[in-house]
Amino acid sequence: MDRLSAYDHAICWAFTYKFWSHTTDSDFEMLPFAFPTDPPLPKITSLRSWVKFLVGIEPELYNCCPNSCCCYTGPHEQLQECPYCKEPRFGSDGKPRKKFTYILLILRLEAFTCNQSMATKMKYRSTGHVHEPGKSSDIFNGSNYRNLRREHVEVNGRRFEHRYFEDERDIALGLSTDGFAPFKRRKNTAWPLIIFNYNLPPEIHFNIDNILSLGVIPGPKKPVDVDSFLWPLIKELLRLAAGV
Ligand SMILES: [Zn+2]
């Protein structure tokens, strides 16, 4: 944050206020009348663009089936119609009928390591947790994690020298997805893809501030091929396992 100007800071605080208070765009645009600033804050569209520029993370957009059966990634990448419901991928105007937005993970994890407070909290996995046989206080007591620590990392058939979670900076992540109905009177469902950062102490790793959203499978139906939506994440996880 030190490299940000005072105006950049003001932009970040204004955007944080809008995000946390759920203020509508029109209400937000009225704020300068009550609380004028010098220089004045930009309009909401410019504010968003500015924050996007400061964050430096561009979301990736993928075409997906209008019924959310699958995402056109990996083996589906070149398909022109959904292999499950046969709906065409593109409309008569040649544009994709629906898109899935994926927010990159590695850039955000790298940002955490640059933040002293966050990086310190994330040392919990390597220095804070103490394994006591027979006691289950965290995922690090689990056999899955403990067995992985004995194994060498393998990616696409290549065996690496390092073992899983051997380096103190390695990050243990958990993936969760479950459907929810955004509208009370409709059957539409949407499926958020979220990541838990288990390197953080157990009392805070499920806090909403610490949960990472990767994107939302838009619905309206339950995805048939969830893996196709996870494809961009899997590519990033393989890169992380090999070492970033
Ligand atoms: Zn479909």
For residue range 125-150, list pLDDT tens digits in order.
Answer: 988 888 777 777 788 888 899 999 99
Residues 112 and 213 in one domain: yes
At residue 93, what is the residue type?
D
Residues 119 and 170 in one domain: yes
- pTM score of the predicted model: 0.81
Residues 43 and 155 in one domain: no
Residue 195 is predicted with a pLDDT of: 94
211 inside domain: yes
Triad 81, 83, 88: Cα angle to 5°: 20
Question: Above 80 in pLDDT, residue 2?
Answer: no
Residues 103 and 177 in one domain: yes
Q: Note the pLDDT tens digit of each residue in 32-69.
A: 888 888 888 888 999 999 998 888 888 999 999 999 99
Residues 52 and 167 in one domain: no
* The token pair that represents 75 in the structure block: 């083996």
Spatial contact of 123 and 241, defined as CB atoms under 8 Å apart: no
Q: Note the pLDDT tens digit of each residue in 145-191.
A: 999 999 999 988 899 999 999 999 999 999 988 766 766 766 777 88
User: Sign of dihedral through CA atoms 200, 204, 210, 215?
Assistant: positive
Cis preceding-peptide flag for 220 (omega within 30 of 0): yes
* 65 CA from centroid of ligand 1 (Å): 5
Residues 106 and 47 in one domain: no
121 inside domain: yes
- Domain of residue 126: give its range: 99-242
- 119 contacts: CB under 8 Å, gap ≥ 6: 112, 113
Residues 238 and 148 in one domain: yes
133 inside domain: yes
Around Cβ 179, how many Cβ atoms within 10 Å? 14
Residue 244 is predicted with a pLDDT of: 83
Q: What is the mean pLDDT of the chain?
A: 90
Q: Which residues are found with C-beta within 5 Å of the ion, ligand 1? A: 65, 67, 69, 82, 84-85
* 193 CA from centroid of ligand 1 (Å): 19
Question: Above 60 in pLDDT, residue 1?
Answer: no
* 186 CA from centroid of ligand 1 (Å): 19
What is the H or E stretch that residue 145 is in? helix 143-148
87 inside domain: no
* 68 CA from centroid of ligand 1 (Å): 6
The model's confidence at residue 119, banded by pLDDT at 50, 70 and 90, is very high
What is the H or E stretch that residue 144 is in? helix 143-148
Domain count, the chain: 2
Spatial contact of 98 and 63, defined as CB atoms under 8 Å apart: yes
* 236 CA from centroid of ligand 1 (Å): 25
* 223 CA from centroid of ligand 1 (Å): 8
* 62 CA from centroid of ligand 1 (Å): 14
